[in-house]
Structure 1
Amino acid sequence: MVLQDLGRRINAAVTDLTRSQTLDEKAFDGMIKEISNALIAADVNIKLVSQLRKSIKASVKFNELPPHANKKRIIQKAVFDALVDIVNPHQKPYEPKKGKSNVIMFVGLQGNGKTTTCTKLARWYQARGYKTCLVCADTFRAGAFDQLKQNAIKAKIPYYGSLTQTDPVVVAREGVEKFKKERFEIIIIDTSGRHHQDEALFAEMVEIQGAISPHQTIMVLDASVGQAAESQARAFKEASDFGAIIITKTDSAAVGGGAISAVAATHTPIVFIGTGEHLLDMEKFNPQSFVSKLLGMGDMQGLVEHVQSLKLDQKETFKNIQEGKFSVRDMRDQLANIMKMGPLSKMAGMIPGLSNVMGQMNDDEGSMKLKRMMIICDSMTAKELDSDGKIFVEQPTRITRVARGSGTSVREVEELLSQTQMMAGMAKKMGGNMKKMQAAQKNPAMASQMQQMQQRMKAMQGQGGGGMPGMGGMGGMPDMGSLMKMMGGGGGGGGMPSMGDMQKMMQQMGMGGMPGMGGGRR
């Protein structure tokens, strides 16, 4: 995947330094050199790399550090902040307004994935309650309207275009006027791909802009465009003054640094990144989350948003966990939901540490593992599904029967039951703690003790820390070891997260069974 090798090299450089017994200025300079080489190899502009070097050195001044300062943490934070600064133009993109017509125009080179990205964005806003539509103003490329039409029908999004009108300005104007009258909130206009050296096409782009007066102009950049991205972006910026960038094809083998350089050169925010060919393969961009994911630290914020957008019904499972129960049926429901979330590699990238685990298992293998677990559940009786798995311990012949009925092995059935029983044990503890918390709310003295205990736990977590500091908006999240344990995985390090953290994250996601994800990833 794009930037994956860059992330590995940077992460390795920081890890090697922080694990080194002699953490001195010479070793620190060596780390900066390795990070710089990795960025240059990924097509990041050399001026940007030089700027990053200076930024890290300015943040970590060895001669001025106190004797007992945690040098490892300071270095980690300096690298994290410097990388965030590269992809953060400190400019806010346009925010569409509900109840009003928001016109969004797409520009960019031909072949960068504009038409597909238009549909992805329309689908993204549609899933969030906006009334969206598409206008095909690409009259230059043969088949452009047919492609947009097929995508729109697949996504169930209204569209407008013409097979006879050759003037894109007329098509764009008519489409926008039509959808404004019909009170559409998001009107997305796809335009022809053009190169900055083609003056006629650039003039046409400016003419379309003048005819429809877009609230936002988005430039689509292919992650594999390389060093040419910066000059292309500057030319488009001067002509169309686009206010946002979407980077496509980040699932390819491209290095991707050119697109990052384009962001820095034009001081324009990235709003989304395309992660695949399917309509749901697009993620909202956040600088902190992007760098966190790049360095293998996950993107819990993105994970929560992704799960929320799927609108999974988890009320029954969450209710059971609150009552201290977790059955095989609950496990089956969670496996079904995991399969709805998309490729496992994408999900693993959002969860701290799991991208390393998933590196040994491809999406097909992971998907097959989940399907086999689902088939095992489907081969059980209603009584077995509603149990916590102990019935199989008491009557082992049930395991053999389920294995035969599902076409799987006894060992696979035992693994599933082991995961279920682990989750049932966690749910029992969680349910008991929730009851204690409810009782504490009624008892002022007990409530005060609980509050003090939680403060002590937070203080201990802060001292133990794990992971990279500086992850804005993610304070209080459990560390990687805690997350792995919480998910039923075998991750080491770190204790269980506080009940407040677990309950808060599960409520944000609208689900009670995220812990069950460990079962499908072993």
Structure 2
Amino acid sequence: MVLADLGRKLNAALAQLNAAPIVDEKVLDAMLKEICAALLESDVNVKLVASLRQKVKAKAKAALESDANKSKEANRRQIVQKVVFDELVDLVDPGVEPYKPKKGQSNVIMAVGLQGNGKTTTCTKLAVYYQKRGFKSCIVCADTFRAGAFDQTRQSATKAKIAYFGSYTETDPVSIAAQGVAKFKKERFDVIIVDTSGRHKQESELFEEMVQIGEAVQPNMTILVLDASIGQAAEAQSRAFKESADFGAIIVTKMDGHAKGGGAISAVAATKTPIIFLGVGEHLADLDRFAPQPFISKLLGMGDVQGLMEHMQDVAAQNPDRQKEMVKKLEEGKLSIRDWKEQIQTVMNMGPMSKIASMIPGLPQDLFAGSEEDTGKRMKRMIYITDSMTATELDSDGSVFMEWDKDGKPVSLNWRVTRVAKGSGTSVREVEELLCQYRMMANMAKQAGGKKGWLQQMQKLGGAGRGRGAGGMPSPAQIAQFQRSMQGGMKGPMADMMKAMMGGQDMPDMEEMQKMMSQMGMGGGGLPGLGGLGGMGGMPGMADMMKMFGGGR
């Protein structure tokens, strides 16, 4: 993802701070040098970087020199970290609230920007975003300059089941925009999105046309669509659009690429205009709401608890009754194969694993590095296997696939495994692996359920979904506690859960755990118990399966 390199470099700079025995001016200067170099390499404007350096140094020195903070080095580190966090947030937060569409009235949104920045695709994504949230949305294609613009709008809008308006014969974009907006206002649409031609600041005629369209449709909000790879040109281009169209928000596209992306930050500062969405992929649902504090929090590896909860709620809203039932089952510590199958499908609907991982506080950001496509294929094969099971098998705890001796101990797999493998077009080995992985998750559910389960422990840690740090994000102390809970020193239910996953072994440290996951075939992405069908080496053997099912009857 764009800015991933920046995040790693910022984390490395803060790691130097944490490793220093004494936090003094020399350590502060070394950290700031690394942070500024990382920002400049990501195409953030030089003046912005210089200003940030001065502010961080002044505020950090003042805080460190106060009598209250001279004693404990741990407190001094947290003070410097908070100053860095706050100044990075200010870099992407102009302090201006963008326009928010209201239901029951017509909200006209006009999209402007350079050609090739993804305006047409973004307009459809935006319409889908609002439609999912109960707004009656539509698109007006007023781009008559680019060949095929209306065809693209028609195809994408039809796919998304969004109403659209345009013309193959009318050549005046002002007339098309006015007609389309009037039509959809009469039909009582809540959100009317007007897509305009791409233009450059040196194209004065096209800029005048953009002004005329704005005067004709009187938009409630004009949005500048900006490519994440624009670099240092962002400031000049955004200023030109601001002077002509006076846009009130920015959407940054192609954030799933490998561009530097810092230019978009420069545009925020140059125009004092907030970013409201990030385009993170080619699919219609790949539009993420932007908020400054969670964005910087994810960049620094602190996760985005609020964003993760919102994302899960959006997915759960597709079938709220079933999700409530699932939560109840997890609280009771029960998980059937059918339940697990549904959760795999839910995870697949949530988007790329790397995206979900970046929202989880304390989780190493490279834990799910690798091919998202490979991960998707592995998860789909798991669905194929469960699709070949009978209702009785799906509603079981997996024990129906085992042969048991007279003492009630599992001794081998039965004929069902072979039948499921043939029916799903997979191998017996893959079915065995799926049963092992399911059992790991079932054991997790047992450890999670009840008043003393780790779900309750995590809720206490997170403070009912909100941290005690800046902007509701987890505080440094909470992050440290979460990381400790994932490493060798943890005790209680969480430790029991992880021991169950590891087949009764003690919990390895994080480095060993990542090696183990890689050996299990999870290196290409996938949650514990969800990956690994691509590689056979290192997967649980028959003895491990017997142990996992030992108390499952």
**2:131 corresponds to which residue?**
126
Q: Structure 1, unaligned stretches of length 5 or more? A: 436-449, 499-515
Q: Is the 8 A contact 1:221 1:248 kept in 2?
A: yes
Shift of 1:240: 1.1
Establish whether residue 63 from structure 1 lines up as the match of residue 65 from structure 2. Answer: yes
Alignment of 1:219-368 (within 5 A): 219-310=224-315, 311-313=317-319, 314-352=323-361, 353=363, 355-359=365-369, 361-368=370-377
Alignment of 1:429-440 (within 5 A): 429-433=447-451
**1:81 corresponds to which residue?**
86
SS at match of 1:357: coil
Shift of 1:413: 4.8
Question: Residue 329 of structure 2 aligns to which amino acid in structure 1?
Answer: N
SS at match of 2:231: coil
Q: Is the 8 A contact 2:201 2:240 kept in 1?
A: yes
After alignment, is 67-76 or 77-86 more displaced?
Answer: 67-76
Q: 1:429 to 1:397 in 2, by over 3 A?
A: closer
Q: 1:185 to 1:67 in 2, by over 3 A?
A: same
**1:200 corresponds to which residue?**
205
Alignment of 1:361-510 (within 5 A): 361-390=370-399, 392=402, 394-398=410-414, 401=418, 404-405=421-422, 413=431, 416-433=434-451, 470-475=469-474, 479=479, 482=482
Alignment of 1:8-23 (within 5 A): 8-23=8-23
SS at match of 2:138: strand
For 2:135 and 2:413, the matched residues in 1 are separated by: 54
After alignment, is 82-91 or 372-381 more displaced?
Answer: 372-381
Q: Is the 8 A contact 2:103 2:135 kept in 1?
A: yes
After alignment, is 61-70 or 275-284 more displaced?
Answer: 61-70
Q: Is the 8 A contact 2:467 2:478 kept in 1?
A: no
For 1:55 and 1:125, the matched residues in 2 are separated by: 38
Q: Is the 8 A contact 1:324 1:432 kept in 2?
A: yes
Shift of 1:390: 4.7
Q: 1:160 to 1:403 in 2, by over 3 A?
A: closer
Q: 1:149 to 1:423 in 2, by over 3 A?
A: same
For 2:33 and 2:214, the matched residues in 1 are separated by: 45
Q: When the two structures are superposed, what TM-score results if normalisation uses the length of structure 2?
A: 0.79
For 2:230 and 2:333, the matched residues in 1 are separated by: 53
Q: Deviations 1:306-352 (Å, cap 9, x if unpaired)?
A: 23223343233223223331122211111111112222232223233
Question: Residue 45 of structure 1 aligns to which amino acid in structure 2?
Answer: N
Q: 1:517 to 1:34 in 2, by over 3 A?
A: same
For 1:72 and 1:480, the matched residues in 2 are separated by: 13
Q: Is the 8 A contact 2:142 2:176 kept in 1?
A: yes
After alignment, is 395-404 or 125-134 more displaced?
Answer: 395-404
Q: Is the 8 A contact 1:81 1:470 kept in 2?
A: no
**1:507 corresponds to which residue?**
none
Shift of 1:282: 0.8
Shift of 1:222: 0.6
Q: Is the 8 A contact 1:132 1:185 kept in 2?
A: yes
Question: Residue 95 of structure 2 aligns to which amino acid in structure 1?
Answer: H
SS at match of 2:451: helix
Shift of 1:122: 0.4
Alignment of 1:81-120 (within 5 A): 81-120=86-125
Question: Residue 383 of structure 2 aligns to which amino acid in structure 1?
Answer: M
**2:510 corresponds to which residue?**
none
For 1:58 and 1:101, the matched residues in 2 are separated by: 48
Q: Deviations 1:268-300 (Å, cap 9, x if unpaired)?
A: 000001011111111000111111222233223
Q: 1:381 to 1:179 in 2, by over 3 A?
A: closer
For 2:184 and 2:264, the matched residues in 1 are separated by: 33
**1:45 corresponds to which residue?**
45
Shift of 1:54: 1.9
Q: Deviations 1:116-170 (Å, cap 9, x if unpaired)?
A: 1001000100111100000011111111111111111111111111111111111
Q: 1:156 to 1:403 in 2, by over 3 A?
A: closer
For 2:385 and 2:458, the matched residues in 1 are separated by: 40
For 2:73 and 2:340, the matched residues in 1 are separated by: 46
Q: Is the 8 A contact 1:169 1:207 kept in 2?
A: yes
SS at match of 1:162: coil
Question: Residue 67 of structure 1 aligns to which amino acid in structure 2?
Answer: S
Q: Is the 8 A contact 1:484 1:518 kept in 2?
A: no
For 1:382 and 1:211, the matched residues in 2 are separated by: 60
**1:28 corresponds to which residue?**
28
SS at match of 1:355: coil
**2:542 corresponds to which residue?**
none
Q: 1:454 to 1:11 in 2, by over 3 A?
A: closer
Q: Structure 2, unaligned stretches of length 5 or more? A: 403-408, 495-525, 533-553
Q: Larger relative contact order (C-alpha < 8 A, sep ≥ 6)?
A: 1
Q: Is the 8 A contact 2:437 2:530 kept in 1?
A: no
Q: Is the 8 A contact 1:344 1:367 kept in 2?
A: no
After alignment, is 324-333 or 32-41 more displaced?
Answer: 324-333
For 2:431 and 2:136, the matched residues in 1 are separated by: 46
For 2:207 and 2:446, the matched residues in 1 are separated by: 64
For 2:60 and 2:169, the matched residues in 1 are separated by: 63
Shift of 1:15: 1.2
Q: Over aligned residue pairs, what C-alpha RMSD do you find? A: 3.2
Percent of residue pairs bearing the same amino acid type: 56
Q: 1:430 to 1:357 in 2, by over 3 A?
A: closer
